[in-house]
Structure 1
Amino acid sequence: MTTEKGGEGVRAVDRALDILLAFKAGDRGLTASEVLKRVDLSRPTLYRLLRTLELRGFVASSGEPQQFQLGPAVAHLAHVWTSGLDMATLAQPMMHRLWEKTGETVALLVQQGRDRICVAELPSAHPLSFKRGVGHRERITLGASGKVVLAFSPDAEHYLAELVTDQDRQAYRQELTRIQSVGYAVSKDELIQGAVAVAAPFFTGGSKVMGSLVVYGPSARVDESRIEKIVALLLEESSELSKTFGL
């Protein structure tokens, strides 16, 4: 009897997980009928499990007809998981491949409030090169590595208040829109004279932008043709990094 009940409990957990995994990025809300198209459950079983998940905060419902979406308990678990990640360690394979293929300095930066901070860096072996160092902090609004994060952030407007004029803010918004459309950012001579930075964003589960993967080099070596090659490599490795973080 105990074994049978235990088996039923495991099946219930398995089915509940199937329901949670049925939600995809971009789903604003699913009706019960839409969920049923994604999971192999009877309608009574689905409603029973949805009620349990809602009581524990893993699902929330609203509207008429009733729609379901992931609840705050899922966000809590995502926060706990993300906080426990050693991003610098997980990013090492992608960073090393970029370093080997470009020969330039490669860095990983994450957003911390109004700043972005370097959490890992592989300096170029060239005598003429640029590096910022682990722990270097700069405003999120400055440079390719910051702008590429803001371009994919829902809170970008919050950071534009520090820009002096309406014209500056409008020009900055246009630049963020362009960066979002191409998926990367390039800056030249913006923070260091003679330096070129090429950056791509990386994301965690739920498509939340966390930071940027960046290649730095001198303009004497990083011309337009090399930028194109670096962009292709960056987009490939930043995509792999996002997969590692569960996008």
Structure 2
Amino acid sequence: MEEKKPHENVRAVERALEILLAFRPGDKELTVAELLTRVDLSRPTLYRLLNTLEQNGFLASSGEPQRFRLGSSVAQVAHAWMANNTIAQLAQPMLRELWEATSETVALFVPEGTYRICVAELESPQPLSFRRGVGYREKLVLGASGRTILSQMPLSADDLRRYLTDPNQDVATLAADLDAVRAQGFGTSHHELIAGAVAVAAPFFNGANQVAGSVCIFGPSVRVTDERVAQFAALLKREVGNLSRALGHQGEAGRVPAAARR
């Protein structure tokens, strides 16, 4: 068989997503005939994609004629989305407190595999400022908000290797950096991902005593001096403690869970 061209693979994904989005509130099940009225696909193409979606758990079918309903994989994705958005909603008072106290951009990040994703952000009102935007995704090993999360995860040196962006990076040096972040309870970065930007981040925890994400304050280096970094760190520790308690964490605010110590 000929290998599919990249644009053909992308189009197949787009068509599969069109099928999933064809389901509307109140649609318990849809027949192929009903789906054909909602998506611009030929019957053979629709059947092929329906089969693929069913094999991967995004759809389930039953009956004769065959009727399709959303599958368990959709529920898994929805659960992940709702969990992140619940955290974003709970964090709003803490984020706003930090935003009002600093007048800098404040963002909330949650881990997603070897990445972290921004699920809430309050942009600085000042003319010179930086923002990432909700949905921004970056490797955990890069930036203060990412390494702060990584520092709280119980990872061996071998485990850390899969988080690297450069296979030649010294794992021992990274581990030492994470130890320092863990010891002080917050992380910083200077001009790392955005030229001229300084970031300060602290982790928050859930009721299972696991790191659930980080809250980050970032702004231009002309305003975020070493003195302000220290002030931001103190504010962050207070507010991530409040957020952790809101998520059911019982540990002492600012204290690293024992499971994260290597």
TM-score tier after normalising by the smaller chain length: 0.5 to 0.7
Counting only pairs closer than 5 Å after superposition, residues 1-247 of structure 1 correspond to structure 2 as 83=83, 86-155=86-155, 157=157, 158-161=159-162, 162=164, 163-165=166-168, 168-247=170-249
Give the C-alpha shift of residue 85 in structure 1.
Answer: 6.5
- Does the Cα contact within 8 Å between 1:150 and 1:156 map onto a contact in 2? no
Tell me, in whole angstroms, the C-alpha distance in 2 between the residues paired with 1:156 and 1:137: 24
Give the C-alpha shift of residue 243 in structure 1.
Answer: 0.3
Give the C-alpha shift of residue 198 in structure 1.
Answer: 0.3
Measured against aligned partners, the alpha-carbon deviations of 1:200-222 in whole angstroms (never above 9, x if no partner) come to: 00000121001100001000100
**Counterpart code for 1:146:** G
**Cα gap change, 1:84/1:151 in structure 2, threshold over 3 Å: closer, same or farther?**
closer
**Cα gap change, 1:156/1:204 in structure 2, threshold over 3 Å: closer, same or farther?**
farther
Give the C-alpha shift of residue 238 in structure 1.
Answer: 0.5
**Counterpart code for 1:151:** S
Give the C-alpha shift of residue 188 in structure 1.
Answer: 0.3
Unaligned runs of 5+ in 1: 1-78
Give the C-alpha shift of residue 113 in structure 1.
Answer: 0.5
Tell me, in whole angstroms, the C-alpha distance in 2 between the residues paired with 1:85 and 1:118: 11
Please give the secondary structure, in 1, of the residue aligned with 2:148. Answer: helix
- Does the Cα contact within 8 Å between 1:198 and 1:215 map onto a contact in 2? yes
Give the C-alpha shift of residue 84 in structure 1.
Answer: 8.1
Tell me, in whole angstroms, the C-alpha distance in 2 between the residues paired with 1:85 and 1:136: 15
Tell me, in whole angstroms, the C-alpha distance in 2 between the residues paired with 1:140 and 1:85: 20
Give the C-alpha shift of residue 156 in structure 1.
Answer: 6.3
Tell me, in whole angstroms, the C-alpha distance in 2 between the residues paired with 1:95 and 1:180: 22
TM-score, normalised by the number of residues in structure 2: 0.61
Unaligned runs of 5+ in 2: 1-78, 250-262
Give the C-alpha shift of residue 242 in structure 1.
Answer: 0.3
Measured against aligned partners, the alpha-carbon deviations of 1:62-104 in whole angstroms (never above 9, x if no partner) come to: xxxxxxxxxxxxxxxxx99x94861111000000000000000
Tell me, in whole angstroms, the C-alpha distance in 2 between the residues paired with 1:95 and 1:237: 8
User: How large is the RMSD of aligned CA atoms in angstroms?
Assistant: 1.9
| Cross-structure match for 2:44 | none
* 4+ residue runs over 6 A deviation: none
Tell me, in whole angstroms, the C-alpha distance in 2 between the residues paired with 1:156 and 1:243: 28
- Does the Cα contact within 8 Å between 1:187 and 1:198 map onto a contact in 2? yes
| Cross-structure match for 1:10 | none
**Cα gap change, 1:134/1:83 in structure 2, threshold over 3 Å: closer, same or farther?**
closer
Give the C-alpha shift of residue 127 in structure 1.
Answer: 0.5
Tell me, in whole angstroms, the C-alpha distance in 1 between the residues paired with 2:178 and 2:160: 12
**Counterpart code for 1:164:** P
Please give the secondary structure, in 2, of the residue aligned with 1:91. Answer: helix
TM-score, normalised by the number of residues in structure 1: 0.64
| Cross-structure match for 1:18 | none
| Cross-structure match for 1:53 | none
Give the C-alpha shift of residue 138 in structure 1.
Answer: 0.4
- Does the Cα contact within 8 Å between 2:106 and 2:122 map onto a contact in 1? yes
